[in-house]
Structure 1
């Protein structure tokens, strides 16, 4: 090696004795977790394919969904650039701001479709603050518990339950039971991952069973009817039981391989209500059958596994708790939607991730996945 080349090598080589690896690839510089992003994009493609069929080849809705995915990916990339320590510092402020918005909804929110869930900015837009709480809740709980000894003491658990129940009750009062369940679950998952004792969880479950008869009277009539329909949908086959009966019919008629894309009769003949939103998995099952469902579940399982891997390899308590809660909350999305469509849980209006039509859910989910990528790619810098 001549003197000039030796000088160039010494100038470019690391000075800490580590091995020289060259410039970082683009995906690393953008803080992207490639396996997770690929799985998300594949799921989105399946969603767009099924949406085109379930909406009767409606190009307008399809293009809106494509635009939502584009915005969601942009949000994901933006959130991935922000180090977790910034999220941690911002968490209580975000939670407090969203709580104020929920109180504003309760006082003078916009009423639509029989529910008071929105705030309206005159001449600009109308938005649903409860969607923000799906991320503000796990961020707040992770911030609160990460700064205290773990497993949490009874006092910390009690205060944590107050933090969870306060927004959940405000959301349930709107009424929006589906979002209230998702928000409560995201907060409880943080508490569970922080080391909540099993005996305390069993005590809480027993308490929930004990107060269930009293909680029943606090439900709205339509919520009570949904629970009753769960146990006996055939009691009112042309009314409240119609959705579940037609959904089961669509799922069963798909068989092993399905009827084929664009050939699902239940959705196209409008027997299946909300075939492109809450009940989209029934329309998908009719067209692609059991094999199609297994492919979709495999993608969901990979996404969940990858998210849990990110959580277990995080380098600080806040990141581990937040990543774990986001991962398990994603599981709740899938389980509740598939469960209500197949008739094992009441209908609560939870969309199927990246398959159901709706831009708000896509952007909320992508925001969470962007935070996960930030946790995974910034961990060496913490």
Structure 2
């Protein structure tokens, strides 16, 4: 009887009423998890910035802007992103070229553009979103899994902006942009033969990159990773102090505002790239495990959204953006704990800074758009 009623209702074209959250194009569970991590990040930042309320207020304003960006990006139908992907890619490439020609330099790097009437910005940050969009746009137009020539073209679309970003120089951002694009290629359905060939090619290219691409300071970071004690008061200082802070936290930590490595100024960049060392020292293993658990829940929710996307473009893009967030976490914690070279990648939603937070939140807005703009399922 109930099955007959359901079939009659479905045939009449009636749809399940959308919730308020769905009409706002917001995923409440993902929004809650992001807000909890961001709130915890402000608590850690207060200690990492040496009890500076000014830094906390500035970061809170950045979070406000970032959550506003999330809401705006969530309102756009994924078809809009698919339609505009090629044009955004061309504009982004033009921005990267402009950075090399007329960009604004700071601390030995030329990464910013200062256009009249606009605040200074980094085109490379925008490419973290645009590159996976472009790769997803191209591959979603092909039969999947893609043929070899389609894979080559997609990889080329990823490598071009990577090469321009490396010239700024900005190895950390180039790796994140490359990871975002390559995850799209991977999720499109690569054969294990192609994956094996890619890693073999990477192994062959590594010595060439070392001699002809990597700059002296980048080489020094790799050498320092292998033996930080070779220059304990110079290049190895950051890793030695950060691992000391992490190890001294023990099981439950020394207590909030009680960290010695950061407050006695042994730990450099304690409120930006190395803030996870502050968290580990003051909140211990339990605090770090809690943060990792929250990150895991965010990733699982995003993977659920990707798995339930209704077209190839949305699935590829959602999966790539999710795994890019994962790479952020792995690279930052890996470099602070001495497992990876220091490349200047912030800890998501925790490290002090504005541009990366807005970019990340925009990506989560795209994920929410993919989830909430699905066609309504009939009852």
TM-score scaled by length of structure 1: 0.94
Residue 40 of structure 1 is matched in structure 2 by 34
Match of 2:151 among 138, 157, 160: 157
Cα deviation, 1:212-243, whole Å, max 9, x if unaligned, reads: 11211121110000000000000000000000
| Structure 1, unpaired ranges of 5+ | 1-13
Distance 2:170 2:223 in 1: 18
Find 1:106's aligned residue among 94, 100, 103: 100
Task: Please point out which of 237, 242, 257 is paired with 2:237.
Answer: 242
Q: CA deviation at 1:127?
A: 1.2
Tell me what 1:134 maps to.
128
1:245, CA displacement in angstroms?
0.2
Alpha-carbon shift at residue 121 of structure 1 (Å): 2.1
Relative to the length of structure 2, the TM-score reads: 0.94
CA pair 318-248 structure 1, distance change in 2 beyond 3 A:
same
How many Å separate the matches in 2 of 1:108 and 1:196?
Answer: 39
For 2:374, which of 364, 367, 379 is the aligned residue? 379
C-alpha distance in 2 between matches for 1:318 and 1:369: 16
Task: Kindly report structure 1 stretches of 4+ aligned residues shifted beyond 3 Å.
Answer: 14-21
Partners of 2:268 and 2:274 within 8 A in 1: yes
Task: Report Cα offsets for 1:330-369 as digits up to 9, x if no partner.
Answer: 0000000000000111000000000000111111000000
After superposition, what is the alpha-carbon deviation per residue over 1:130-175, rounded to whole angstroms, capped at 9, x for unaligned? 0000000010011000011011111101111110110000000110
Residue 183 of structure 2: which of 183, 189, 203 is its match? 189
Structure 2 CA distance for aligned equivalents of residues 266 and 216 of structure 1 = 33
* Structure 2 counterpart SS, 1:380: coil
SS in 1 for 2:184: helix
Query: 1:18 deviation in Å?
Result: 6.8
Cα 1:20–1:199 shift into 2, 3 Å: closer
Aligned length: 369
Q: 2:216 aligns with which of 217, 221, 235?
A: 221
Structure index of larger Rg: 1
- 1:282 alignment counterpart: 277
Q: Tell me whether 1:115 sits opposite 2:130 in the alignment.
A: no
Could you say what secondary structure the match of 1:116 adopts?
strand
RMSD, aligned α-carbons: 1.6
Equivalence map 1:43-62=2 (5 Å): 43-62=37-56
Distance in 2 of aligned mates of 1:132 and 1:260 = 38
The answer to whether structure 1 residue 328 and structure 2 residue 323 are counterparts is yes
